[in-house]
Structure 1
Amino acid sequence: MPAAPNRPLLIAATAALATTIAIGGAALGQSRHDSNAPIDFDAQSIELQDRANRAILSGGVTIKQANMTLTASRVTVSYTGQVIDGSPSVSRFDASGGVTVSRPDQTARAQYGVYDINRRVITMLGAVTLTQGSNTVSGGRLTLDLDTGRASIDGSGVGTTRAPDGSVVKSGGRVTGRFTVPERD
């Protein structure tokens, strides 16, 4: 008689598969994001630092590109070219303070976020929550590939404890979540 499968391992494998299905772009019906679309912004103030090739947006910042919206308290915009010459090309957004990225049927929240326009990747860090409908997954870091629509969350930075000298005493974290199950007759 074959040995019974290791139940905790089976549960973990099933949960990992469910997480991939729940947050994978194709399973969610997410289409490829148009990262070539114009980027509109709205903020209470802007500080141009043209010699450093950056602009700092602050105060209820909203950035929109195609069907995606990023909101935060503060966003540093990195660019190449000069604003004065009228030839800036945005390459990256670094957002902080209640960062939210919304796409159709999907919302991610975190303390910090980076949108690397050249790589077409959004990385969110710190108390990350990804929600679609009534399904929710939480962790320490979210990586969203805008070309494929694939999202992955890991426990990085969750539960990290540091000693007074800065060394890591305890590291690691878990990804947690809840998937809803449709009612059956």
Structure 2
Amino acid sequence: MFRFTPALILLLALVPGVVAAQQAKIAFGGLKQDTSLPVEVEADSLAVNQADGTATFSGNVLVGQGELRLSAGTVRVEYATDGKRIARLHASGGVTLANAGNAAEAREAVYTIDSGNVVMTGNVLLTQGSSAISGQKLIIDLKAGTGVMEGRVSTVFVPGGN
């Protein structure tokens, strides 16, 4: 058995290291967002499907809502049943979500406008200043400015870092 003396515990706490877990709660003050703001979309092309009520933006897609920016290869816009409001954005093809010093990257993301939830999946990497955390799924609540990283979470702590 290993013996952990107070000095060893202090040394381990001060040394940069990797922490692994199944889930980590994260503060997203910089990603807090007013989800009632207009959503603007720019892309190389647009295809509209009246039958299922979707619009698909392709090529260098940039979505903006207030200070929040989302970029991806493709973004499918799903409209609410009234056909007047955007219900959900499904982004794929190298997704980046950024705002005020926070940035998250993943393979895919689904942003449900009314709830303010963004679910990012597939090799998720979140950077906040000099800190980084990775996992397989990141769930962000833009209204509350909070999030949860799931799926073999890994991070590096830098003592004295911001």
TM-score range with shorter-chain normalisation? Answer: 0.7 to 0.9
Whether the aligned pair in 2 keeps the contact of 1:99 and 1:111 (CA below 8 Å) is: yes
Which residue of structure 1 aligns with residue 105 of structure 2? 109
Q: 1:89 aligns with which of 72, 82, 85?
A: 85
Q: Which fold has the larger relative contact order, with Cα–Cα distance below 8 Å and residues 6 or more apart in sequence?
A: 2
Q: Of the candidates 22, 27, 47, which is equivalent to residue 24 of structure 1? A: 27
Where is the strand percentage greater, Structure 1 or Structure 2? Answer: 2
Change beyond 3 A, Cα 1:31–1:70: closer
Residue 148 of structure 1 is matched in structure 2 by: 144
Looking at structure 1, the residues matched to 118 and 86 of structure 2 have their Cα atoms a distance apart, in angstroms, of 15
Number of residue pairs the alignment of both structures matches: 146
User: Using the alignment, how far apart are the partners of 1:50 and 1:61 within structure 2?
Assistant: 21
Q: Mark the structure with the bigger radius of gyration.
A: 1
The question of 1:100 aligning with 2:90 is answered: no
Residue of structure 1 in register with 2:44 after alignment: 44
Aligned pairs (5 A) from 1:134-145: 134-145=130-141
| Residue ranges of structure 1 left out of the alignment (5+ in a row) | 156-173
Q: TM-score, normalised by structure 1?
A: 0.71
Secondary structure, aligned partner of 1:144: strand
Task: Indicate the residue corresponding to 2:68 in structure 1.
Answer: 68
2:162 is the alignment partner of 1:177:
no
Query: Counterparts of 1:177 and 1:24 in 2: how far apart (Å)?
Result: 14
Tell me which amino acid in the other structure corresponds to 2:155: G
TM-score (norm 2): 0.81
RMSD: 2.4
The structural deviation recorded for 1:119 is 1.4
* Moved segments of 4+, more than 4 Å: none
Using the TM superposition, give the Cα deviation of residue 80 of structure 1 relative to its aligned residue in structure 2, in angstroms: 2.8
CA distance in 2, matches of 1:123, 1:50: 26
Q: Aligned partners of 2:98, 2:85: CA distance in 1, in Å?
A: 23
**Bigger shift: residues 59-68 or 32-41:** 32-41
- Equivalent position amino acid for 1:57 in 2: F
Partners of 1:80 and 1:137 lie apart in 2 by 34
